[in-house]
Amino acid sequence: EGGLYTVVLHFSETWFTPANSAGGVGSRVFDVYCNGATLLKNFDILKDAGDLAHRAVVRTFRHIPASPLGKIELTFVPIVNYALINAIEITQE
């Protein structure tokens, strides 16, 4: 409680790839929230990866306060298809 944290989110699109007939930019779009605050809005992994499948996209957020209960709560809200996360790192600052 009362601490600040760094949250690192790791993404890589493994399904909606450009080679897939249903793939490409815009195939998976979602929002990411942490303790109710927006971290990513209309996030599209392939758009950020330059339309390259399996390319790592890493987003780092510093100075994230814990909730009053001492928690870091991440919420992934789908816009187009399901949200996808490959790894989450949370470290105390």
* Residue 28 near residue 19, CB atoms below 8 Å: no
Q: How far apart (Å, rounded) are the C-alpha atoms in residues 53 and 13? A: 6
39-84 per-position pLDDT tens digit: 999 999 999 988 777 889 999 999 999 988 889 999 999 999 999 9
10-39 per-position pLDDT tens digit: 999 988 876 655 678 888 999 999 999 999
Task: Tell me: pLDDT of 2 over 90.
Answer: no
How many C-beta atoms lie closer than 10 Å to residue 6's C-beta? 14
Q: How far apart (Å, rounded) are the C-alpha atoms in residues 65 and 78? A: 24
* Residue 78 near residue 84, CB atoms below 8 Å: no
